[in-house]
Amino acid sequence: MKIKKTHETVSVENNSLIISLPQKEYQSLSIKTTNGNIIFDYSTSLTYNCSTENGNIKGILKGTETDYLIVTSVKNGKNNLNNNVIESSKTIEFDVKNGNIEIEFEN
């Protein structure tokens, strides 16, 4: 699914858009925003590739932090994830320019 907001697009309330996906394990979740938060609510995926220019990446992912190869970048903000460069079939790649990464893990 790809959603793109343009100047011609009818605006949504408060310029926000919430996309809810069914609870299941996904092969890949790729999300990119310019101005907005990316929030996970007990998400399960083998690969996360997410970035935002002005916003936060936060929420709860199923599993444990040590299950993932993790590569993160935060330019202006805080990050509670440590890069974890291991060989794994599960990966997390998060890039934030102006915002924070605040991720928790739960089995």
Tell whether 7 is covered by a domain. Answer: no
Q: Please state the pTM of the whole predicted model.
A: 0.85
Tell me if 97 is assigned to some domain.
yes
15 belongs to a structural domain: no
pLDDT confidence band for 104 (50 / 70 / 90): very high
How many angstroms separate the CA atoms of 80 and 98, rounded? Answer: 15
Q: How many whole angstroms separate alpha carbon 13 and alpha carbon 25?
A: 30
Domain assignment present for 77? yes
9 within domain boundaries: no
Domain of residue 66 covers: 26-106
Higher pLDDT, 55 or 16: 55
Residue pLDDT, tens place only, 42-63: 999 999 999 999 999 999 999 9
Kindly state whether residue 51 falls inside one of the protein's structural domains: yes
How many structural domains are present in the chain?
1
**Residue 99 forms part of a structural domain:** yes
Residue 65 lies in a domain: yes
- The answer to whether the beta carbons of residues 63 and 107 sit under 8 Å apart is yes
